[in-house]
Amino acid sequence: MKINYPNPSINHTSQKKTINRSHGMLFESALNSSNEFYRNKNLAFIYKKPTPIQIVKVDYPIRSKARITEAYYKTPSTTDYNGIYKGKYIDYEAKETEHLTFSFKFISEHQIIHLLKINEHGGIAFIIIYFRKVNRVFIIDILKFYDLYIHQQENNKKSISIPLLEEKGKEVSLGYTPVIDYLQAVDDLYFTK
């Protein structure tokens, strides 16, 4: 009897249409699942931050079917996730790219500044990047990212390559439970001396 096991890859071939339509949603869903796994195992309490919106118009055909029809972002969002791990505040931005490099245009300056401030106040701050084409995930500490950001731009480079992330960051294990075991990489970067 043939058994079809689920593919631990974030980038399933059967889901390519979904991935292309909702850029980043599959990666975000995998991170949410991983965070739920960490909460269920009482390892960490990390949540997706809601984006603050100002609701302008709501359609109320009946109370149970109320629908927001017009809304605006109140302020630019800071980062995607925050919480607590091993007694330390943790805050990170999740990014995804279809290329073999991560372009700086995909992260806002205010997000970098936010993460630098978190680091300045003793928190764990990093960027987690998923390279869809090769199904690899890396985390990079915000200070190392910022150094690369400044250095690369001084040299007229607009992105970070995978080999540079292999050197400056930490690759994240992909599996089944959790799908993206980024806390193992966090341990290596922040808790191992």
2 has pLDDT over 60: no
Separation between Cα atoms, residue 104 and residue 127, nearest integer Å = 12
pLDDT given for residue 52 in this prediction: 64
Residues pairing with 44 in the sheet: 85
123 three-state secondary structure: coil
Cis-peptide into 52, omega within 30 deg: no
Classify domain 13-191 by CATH architecture. Answer: 3-Layer(aba) Sandwich (3.40)
Instruction: Report the distance separating Cα 91 and Cα 123, nearest Å.
Output: 7
User: Side chain identity at 35, as an amino acid letter?
Assistant: N
Asked if pLDDT for residue 1 goes beyond 70, the answer is no
pLDDT of residue 73: 62
Helix, strand, coil percentages (3-state) for the chain, rounded to 5, are: 40, 30, 30
| Encoded tokens for 59 | 């359609």
Query: What is the bridge-based pairing of β-strands 53-59 and 101-103?
Result: unpaired
Distance CA 110, CA 78 (A): 7
Q: Which residues contact 120 (CB under 8 A, 6 or more apart)?
A: none
Amino acid 66: pLDDT:
79
Which pLDDT band, with edges at 50, 70 and 90, does 152 fall under?
A: confident
